[in-house]
Structure 1
Amino acid sequence: MEKDSILHLITAAKNASPFDVNMAIDAGFDQVIPYTNVALSEVVGLTQDAIFSRSPSGIKRESIFIGGRDIDLAMDMLGAAEKAMFPPFEISVFADPSGAFTTAAAMVAKVELQLKKHFHTDLAGKRVAIFGATGPVGGCVAVITANLGAEAILVGHKTVDEVREKADGYNQRYGTRIGFADGTNENAKQAIVNTADVVLCAAAAGIRVVTIQQIAQSKTLKVIADVNAVAPTGAEGVDVMADGVVIEGTQVVGIGALAIGNLKYTTQHNLLNQMLAADKPCYLEFMAAFEMARSLG
């Protein structure tokens, strides 16, 4: 008799995400077991409890999902879980804190697709301004775009020091060259938009980041993407359903939150399915999520 498939959902947060629970069950896992308020030091013990309680054939029906809100902590937890295992006691691990990895992956994949479709180019060498840069999605898109050869710029909304610290941390950890810029007033934001090829809006729900006037004034801007579906949206003039639609009165292509969200959903679903179907363990993080999102288009 085949054993139940189990997803062990580990998170440093107080609660497991109902979104992730639903996604895992819909992807085919029979059981989803949450472990909350988990410290990094506890991940090895939880991982080894999971792998040593079944035979090597039985653990092929097990996987680990890392949630939470901190992308660096999620990566540390993924690394700790991977190091806790050894052949043949190995299972797959997928990190997606607050859905940031799959959301960022979908956002960047959508932008790359529209750059190719409308401008016959890619992200390499492009100046990418990231608003909402201190959140998990903003940080993740910065790392992904930098890995693709873009000049990623974290834009400071409240202070420049905060984004400088974030950029330094990402560069040290991931070997990137992410920059930062002052976006604490409208003139500063206009100067950033005026020199950007791509603008990515990852600010909190209901915060207007860029106006239609600022978008229209830029001579360099090609694509703008926004993950905020709550009015007012982050980028004025970008409909939440827009998927490569030219913004009225401009030459800029817009990508809205629901278009990004649909690809995020499919990306997460497919990565969960990948763990279920894998003959060998896979370790999935933001670049794996991006490759999946890119393949789905």
Structure 2
Amino acid sequence: MPKKILHMLTPHKHVSPFDANMAADAGYDLILPYESVELTEVADLVQDAIFSRPPAHGTSTTIFFGGDDAILALDMIEAAKNALVAPFGVHVFADPQGSFTTAAAMVACVEKILVAKKGGGLAGRRIAVFGATGVVGYCSAVIAALEGAEVTLVGHSGVQRVRERAAQMRVRFGVEVDSVNGKTDAEKAAVLAKTDIVFSAAKAGVRVLSAKLVEAAPHLLVAADVNAVPPAGIEGVGVFDNGVAIAGSQTLGLGALAVGNVKYQTEAGLFRRMLAAEDEVLSLDFRDAFKLARSLVPEL
């Protein structure tokens, strides 16, 4: 049997030890890092990998893309797919900074809370995404919009960057999302006045929403925070909370470690899926992660 080989490509100085550990535990025989990789180099690396094995062994090879840029990771997937020469093929999978599987897990957990405790899913819900220019915020916004939610990207330093992200989402995924400024408490309060769900995906250790803002939000059903580093991104949300009411409000909180449990299982599950796929070449991103995460969220 051919060895199961994982080639890990990153535009950064180092590949992620987290992802390497996950892949090893999933069952890869060999994990090879490629660092400071540029988009223009992806095709040559992929073709070097595919031509070293007969076509029948192509599914024993996986190309993984890391980094911290959702757009670049998606572009690298496309570059890899475009470099394939029939009948040769390899699996490709991106999870930059663990963000694709984290975003998928967060949205799936919120959906479960909504269905179990608020009488409905994501479709038609008004969702505000704080930290929307980051990889987790970006992917969670796209997933929610694809599920029929009305998504608003909230900028912390003006509206230009989130407006650019919204334009990218429209072109790449065909979704329409809004963009607003949310630097001051007054601006945040204005956003929350028209919001059913908050995704908080700002930098670790950054307080995005105070308890006062959450308490005053008239329609807020769920507040999800993927920050596990104190202080919490949303004041009052515990890291293990999963549908627990935030003190002083009717809003249900979702914490970082509750999301992390599903994220861990999702990333491991996608690695195992590629290892098991013998007759199909797979190309996996956050949309595939969301499909799997939905099946992994525990019952409430």
Query: When the two structures are superposed, what TM-score results if normalisation uses the length of structure 1?
Result: 0.97
1:293 lines up with 2:293 in the alignment: yes
User: Equivalent residue for 1:4?
Assistant: 3
Task: Provide the C-alpha distance between the structure 2 equivalents of 1:60 and 1:103, rounded to a whole number of angstroms.
Answer: 26
Residue 60 of structure 1: CA displacement? 2.6
Cα offset, 1:163, TM superposition: 1.3
In the alignment, what sits opposite 1:209? 208
- Please tell me the residue identity of whatever aligns with 1:256: G
In the other structure, the counterpart of 1:200 is 199
Does 1:17 pair with 2:21? no
Which stretches of structure 1, 4 residues or longer, exceed 3 Å deviation after superposition? none
Question: 1:54 is aligned with what amino acid?
Answer: R
Residue correspondence of structure 1 range 1-297 to structure 2 within 5 A:
2-279=1-278, 280-297=280-297
Structure 2: distance between partners of 1:60 and 1:216: 52
The 2-side partners of 1:70 and 1:237 are apart by 30
Partner secondary structure for residue 133 of structure 2:
coil
CA deviation vs aligned residue, 1:171-220 (integer Å, no higher than 9, x gap): 22221101111111101101111210000100101111111111111121
- How far residue 103 of structure 1 moved from its aligned partner, in angstroms, is 0.6
Query: Partners in 2 of 1:63 and 1:250 — Cα distance?
Result: 47
SS for the counterpart of 2:28 is coil
How far the C-alpha of 1:124 sits from its partner, in A, is 0.8
Distance across 1 between alignment mates of 2:155 and 2:42: 34
TM-score (normalizing by structure 2): 0.96
Q: Distance in 1 between matches of 2:95 and 2:116?
A: 29
Cα distance in 2 for partners of 1:223, 1:48 equals 46
Amino acid at match of 2:247: E
Q: Partners of 1:284 and 1:59 in 2: how far apart?
A: 16
Q: How many matched pairs?
A: 296
Deviations along 1:68-90, one digit per CA (max 9) or x if unpaired, are 11111111111111122244311
Paired AA for residue 48 in structure 2: D
The residue identity in structure 1 corresponding to 2:144 is: T
Letter in 1 for 2:204: A
- Say which SS state the counterpart of residue 55 (structure 2) adopts: coil
Q: Secondary structure at the match of 1:125?
A: coil
How far did residue 148 of structure 1 move?
0.7
Q: Which amino acid aligns with 2:283?
A: Y
Structure 2: tracts of 5 or more residues without a match: none
Shift in alpha-carbon separation, 1:169–1:60, aligned structure 2, 3 A: closer
Give the AA of the match of 2:231. Answer: P
Return the alpha-carbon distance in structure 2 between the equivalents of residues 93 and 81 of structure 1.
7
Q: Distance in 2 between matches of 1:57 and 1:169?
A: 37
Structure 2 letter corresponding to 1:69: D
Q: Secondary structure at the match of 2:128?
A: strand
Q: Secondary structure at the match of 1:12?
A: coil
1:289 and 1:40 map into 2 onto residues whose CA distance is 23
Kindly provide the CA deviation profile for residues 202-249 of structure 1, in whole angstroms up to 9, marking residues without a partner as x: 010111111111111112110010000111110111100001111122
Deviations along 1:99-155, one digit per CA (max 9) or x if unpaired, are: 111010000000111000001111111110011111111111111111111111111
* Whole-angstrom CA distance in 2 between matches of 1:118 and 1:60: 42
Mean CA deviation greater in 240-249 or 256-265: 240-249
Identity of matched residues, %: 50
